[in-house]
Structure 1
Amino acid sequence: MANPDVRPSVARLEPAPLPTGRNIELTLLAFAAVIVTGALVLVEINTAGGTEPARAITSLIYIGVAYLALLVVAHLAVRKWAPYADPLILPCVALLNGLGLVMIHRLDLAAQERAILLGNDIPTTLVTRQIAWTAVGLALFVGVLYLVRDHRTLARYSYTAGFVGLILLALPGLLPDAISEINGAKIWLRVGPFSIQPGEFAKILMIVFFAGFLTQKGELFRTAGRRFLGMEFPRARDLAPLLLIWGLSIVVLVLERDLGSSLLFFGIVLVMIYIATERVSWVVIGLSFFVGGAVIAYNLFSHVQARVQVWLDPFSDYDRAGYQIAQALFGLGTGGVGGTGLGAGRPDLVPFAATDFILSSLGEELGLIGLAAILVVYLVLITRGLRSAVAVRDSFGKLLASGLAFTIALQIFVVVGGSSKLIPLTGLTLPFLSYGGSSLVANYALIALLLRISNAARAPLPARAAPPRAPIAEAGTELVERPK
């Protein structure tokens, strides 16, 4: 006979822990390292590496080991401080950065070979500086992950970020040309041998500001106005913020002669307003402002006219103003579908091959197939950033992640369009691929913020303690009288 005091045990099912995705990230990072190492070996083989084995081994050890060490540091930082972050974002960045290092090294070898043939001094290698800037960028990347434990805390400092961003954006235009101008653009701060572009950091601060501003004042932009052509247009007094950023873009264009930054800032703000309001009328108004500003700038400023004329017909002034874009088009044409092979082309014939026209350098040696693969990696990076924006639970995080992801997308469109003669050249660089310290360091800070937001979006909600429940046999009963 069964003992009535012995109750059958009931197994409690504990929820399985959510996968963090860090092992997937580590596997993809290893895959990126294999691709970058293979590309570096091809460069050494095709640039007389077989006749100079010592140089090839030195390059592989120096660049390869430095690259792997930096990847390990980045992965460990994400694993410790953002364990639930998207596992695809960092591998995409690592692959792009690694391919950029390989191409910059390849251009260094071409510059050294030309210097030897002409009897000139051997130029300083750019890849050494780029590795150093990568280390600085990853140090800032780790610092952002460590200090910003919750992206929502940035909303408290949104106005401070906007004020500092405006100062950084306007400072080069107010300083003497000797300190701030390089190649006709006043976007630099030069102190001795060092130079930085404050605008690269200003864009992140301005995104933080507008994300906080639109979160607090979003109702202002959603206020119904007059209905026209099937759309709700805002009231005239509600257009002040858009007019302000439009005026700021024009001021940047005038003072700093930087068409790329003007386009970038205006595009970012316009997209963030659209995301906050979901009203097409803001896009229509913004594009109207853009067209009006473009017409005014073309009629008033000679450097804008020169950019447009070169865009329309670069071969009419091939030896001077049109030389850069013409050589870039020749490089893309030489690469064709399959490319000449890493180390087997002549990308050094294009001016600024490591910075503004690195897309042409990659297109010549990797071809259309290689460029398409690189653009797919960018597309994955942008998509994962936007996915984090959709998944995060707070409005500030949604706007911040959308602005950060769209910044990368707009830069890619502007650079690819300029290098392929789809749109006029603007002077922007490809994120993580092009040579340049300011862009690389700022973009690593941007990626750290994206990873912080994606960690918040994918992390499990804090578990709530369930109230103690009595066994059903001991539960009290209550008689409830049915109403008559």
Structure 2
Amino acid sequence: MTDLIVELSKYLMTLLFAFYTYECFSSFRGKLTPEKRAKIFKRQMCLMYLIHLDAFLAIYAVTDDIRMILFYVVQAAFIAVTISSYRLVYGRASGLLINNMCMLLMIGFIMITRLSFDKAIRQFAIAVGAMVCSLIIPVLIQKVRFLRKMPWLYAAAGIIGLLAVLAFGITSSGAKISISLAGISVQPSEFVKIIFVFFVACMLYENTDLKHVCIATVLAAVHVLILVLSRDLGGALIFFVTYLVMLYVATRKLFYFAGGLLTGCIAAVVAYQLFSHVRVRVLAWQDPLSRIENEGYQICQSLFAIGTGGWFGMGLYQGMPEKIPVVEQDFIFSAIAEEMGGIFAICLLMVCISCFLMFFNVAMQMKEQFYKLIALGLGTVYGFQVFLTVGGVTKFIPSTGVTLPLVSYGGSSLFSTMIMFAVVQGLYIRRQDEGAANERKNAAPPRRRKTGFDEDVETFS
């Protein structure tokens, strides 16, 4: 009976998630009325809850552990409160961003619960704290005006945070990426990414002459260099690409972008020569099967998992994702592909792409260059991180040890990504408020005032 429940569950989850993904892209149609768009988001919420329920019924059927049911109820209540809070506090919030954030969180909860119940509890607790903080951020984006006037504070905070990791960081897999605070492991670079975007936006939104560009480039290079010295090359790559994209959009000079790419290629060759763990990852990427006993083991197990899952997956608890080292963090996409299936994994990737498109859509709609650059920078950070994660586990590129935002286990990554979504949500609300104000202004009825000639003259407010 258990096998039948798990088998039916995987097909139902795939079907429901395919419909959810279709609705993501349906919401981008330009001629939709607000009522039709609202109906799309309601259907998404229904599909989300059905996927969540289906998965936890399968988990309970296999484990026969009442804690799974209780954990499911708490998670469902958390998602309901998150969606309701955003809609009550911010009436103009983006339904797509809210739904996708919650959908990705749910998938993460499902897979981490299957892999490690204790880690799932910790991940959930961090998500609750992050949600409370993220509810405050949109109003700050709307009300606080001095955010654009602190470039040196952003630069100092970012550099000090990265230097702290370089000096006191814990070495993991050959890189220093986290520090321990009161027994809690924190990865500062996850938060510095957001600060870095604000710094670059502050430097380039008003003035893009050579002097400003040189100063911004030097300080950005300091961030990247510290990450390289810490051997956090995945993080360094995200910072580097984000700066290049923001610089190009701010200046519209292809020379800067091309020069940056050339510099990055040279730096990659130098890193290959200097760092042994970089050579190990490149060799594992080139021919993992010939090195399956050592450096190629992780990527081989990832490819085996993805291949074993096929289109519809093995079903929850029917695969062997635990054979992949650090599967909850860097390789959770492989575990999802194995047990939930290739179609489900592709839909997950498409949902991430819809988030990326929404970030860029907000950037294009913002009138002020400062906010436009922030949305663009955060969108680049998010999209490139997804690319690095999925590309690494599928052997498209060498593995960089980067987590899948909102899905992978990791408190710092989860917290920082929810902050990013909240910042973009704040920008979206700001743009909606500006549009509504303009509509009210244009639609205001004429009023009459008396003139010195005792005749009525129409004026418009």
Short-chain TM bin: 0.7 to 0.9
Q: Distance in 1 between the 2:155 and 2:213 partners?
A: 20
Contact 2:204 / 2:213 at 8 angstroms: preserved in 1? no
Counterpart of 1:267 in structure 2 is 241
Q: Shift of residue 304 of structure 1? A: 1.7
Contact 2:448 / 2:456 at 8 angstroms: preserved in 1? no
Please tell me whether residue 420 in structure 1 is matched to residue 399 in structure 2: no
Q: Residues 23 and 201 of structure 1: is their aligned pair in 2 closer, same or farther, counting only changes over 3 Å?
A: farther
Q: Shift of residue 243 of structure 1? A: 5.0
Please tell me whether residue 143 in structure 1 is matched to residue 136 in structure 2: yes
Q: Distance in 2 between the 1:397 and 1:417 partners?
A: 30
Superposition pairs for residues 34-73 of structure 1, below 5 Å? 34-45=50-61, 48-49=62-63, 52=64, 55=65, 57-62=66-71, 64-73=72-81
Contact 2:305 / 2:321 at 8 angstroms: preserved in 1? yes
Q: Distance in 1 between the 2:108 and 2:49 partners?
A: 13
Contact 2:138 / 2:427 at 8 angstroms: preserved in 1? no
Counterpart of 2:200 in structure 1 is 210
Q: Distance in 2 between the 1:476 and 1:318 partners?
A: 88
Q: Shift of residue 172 of structure 1? A: 0.6
Q: Shift of residue 384 of structure 1? A: 1.1
Match among 17, 25, 28 for residue 44 of structure 2: 28
Q: Residues 84 and 151 of structure 1: is their aligned pair in 2 closer, same or farther, counting only changes over 3 Å?
A: farther
Q: Shift of residue 170 of structure 1? A: 2.1
Superposition pairs for residues 269-288 of structure 1, below 5 Å? 269-288=243-262
Counterpart of 2:429 in structure 1 is 455
Q: Distance in 2 between the 1:40 and 1:448 partners?
A: 28
**Cα displacement string for residues 60-108 of structure 1 (whole angstroms, at most 9, x for unaligned residues):** 222x222223223322332244321221001001011101110011112
Q: Shift of residue 33 of structure 1? A: 2.1
Max Rg structure: 1
Superposition pairs for residues 465-476 of structure 1, below 5 Å? 468-469=447-448
**Residue identity matched to 2:54:** G
Aligned residues: 417
| 3-state DSSP of counterpart to 2:417 | helix
Contact 1:25 / 1:90 at 8 angstroms: preserved in 2? no
Contact 1:151 / 1:453 at 8 angstroms: preserved in 2? no
**Residue identity matched to 1:37:** L
| 3-state DSSP of counterpart to 1:379 | helix
Q: Shift of residue 162 of structure 1? A: 2.3
Q: Residues 240 and 253 of structure 1: is their aligned pair in 2 closer, same or farther, counting only changes over 3 Å?
A: same
Counterpart of 2:105 in structure 1 is 97
Counterpart of 1:232 in structure 2 is none
Q: Distance in 1 between the 2:44 and 2:155 partners?
A: 36
| 3-state DSSP of counterpart to 1:195 | strand
Contact 1:101 / 1:127 at 8 angstroms: preserved in 2? yes
Contact 1:246 / 1:289 at 8 angstroms: preserved in 2? no
Contact 2:319 / 2:338 at 8 angstroms: preserved in 1? yes
Q: Distance in 2 between the 1:102 and 1:131 partners?
A: 11
Q: Distance in 1 between the 2:410 and 2:123 partners?
A: 7
Match among 256, 263, 270 for residue 289 of structure 1: 263
Unaligned stretches of 5+ residues in structure 2: 1-32
- The share of aligned pairs that are identical, in percent, is 31
Contact 1:22 / 1:79 at 8 angstroms: preserved in 2? no
Contact 1:391 / 1:458 at 8 angstroms: preserved in 2? no
Counterpart of 1:14 in structure 2 is none
Please tell me whether residue 188 in structure 1 is matched to residue 208 in structure 2: no
Counterpart of 2:220 in structure 1 is 245
Range with bigger deviation, 298-307 or 437-446: 298-307
Counterpart of 1:379 in structure 2 is 353
Q: Distance in 1 between the 2:292 and 2:136 partners?
A: 47
Unaligned stretches of 5+ residues in structure 1: 1-16, 110-124, 222-236, 478-484
**Cα displacement string for residues 370-424 of structure 1 (whole angstroms, at most 9, x for unaligned residues):** 1110011111111111111111221111100111111110000001111111111
Q: Distance in 1 between the 2:133 and 2:235 partners?
A: 23
| 3-state DSSP of counterpart to 1:435 | coil
**Residue identity matched to 2:128:** A
Match among 425, 432, 437 for residue 411 of structure 2: 437
Structure 1 length normalisation: TM-score? 0.80
Counterpart of 1:481 in structure 2 is none
Contact 1:201 / 1:442 at 8 angstroms: preserved in 2? yes
Q: Distance in 1 between the 2:91 and 2:308 partners?
A: 45
Match among 263, 268, 286 for residue 312 of structure 1: 286
Q: Shift of residue 192 of structure 1? A: 4.2
**Residue identity matched to 2:175:** A
RMSD of equivalent CA atoms: 2.6
**Cα displacement string for residues 123-179 of structure 1 (whole angstroms, at most 9, x for unaligned residues):** xx111111111111112212323444336542123331222112112211012xxx5
**Cα displacement string for residues 232-255 of structure 1 (whole angstroms, at most 9, x for unaligned residues):** xxxxx955533543454233112x
| 3-state DSSP of counterpart to 1:217 | coil
Please tell me whether residue 84 in structure 1 is matched to residue 58 in structure 2: no
Q: Shift of residue 189 of structure 1? A: 1.2
Match among 130, 149, 160 for residue 156 of structure 1: 149
Q: Shift of residue 430 of structure 1? A: 0.2
Please tell me whether residue 388 in structure 1 is matched to residue 367 in structure 2: no
Contact 1:337 / 1:368 at 8 angstroms: preserved in 2? yes
Contact 1:162 / 1:208 at 8 angstroms: preserved in 2? no
Contact 2:55 / 2:110 at 8 angstroms: preserved in 1? yes
Q: Residues 37 and 276 of structure 1: is their aligned pair in 2 closer, same or farther, counting only changes over 3 Å?
A: same
Q: Shift of residue 334 of structure 1? A: 0.6
Q: Shift of residue 21 of structure 1? A: 7.0
Q: Residues 154 and 76 of structure 1: is their aligned pair in 2 closer, same or farther, counting only changes over 3 Å?
A: farther
Q: Shift of residue 316 of structure 1? A: 2.6
Superposition pairs for residues 358-369 of structure 1, below 5 Å? 358-369=332-343
Q: Shift of residue 276 of structure 1? A: 1.1
Q: Residues 154 and 30 of structure 1: is their aligned pair in 2 closer, same or farther, counting only changes over 3 Å?
A: farther
Structure 2 length normalisation: TM-score? 0.84
**Cα displacement string for residues 259-316 of structure 1 (whole angstroms, at most 9, x for unaligned residues):** 1111010011011111112232222111101001111111222222222112112223
Contact 1:29 / 1:94 at 8 angstroms: preserved in 2? no
Q: More helix per residue: 1 or 2?
A: 2
Q: Residues 339 and 203 of structure 1: is their aligned pair in 2 closer, same or farther, counting only changes over 3 Å?
A: same
Q: Shift of residue 28 of structure 1? A: 3.0
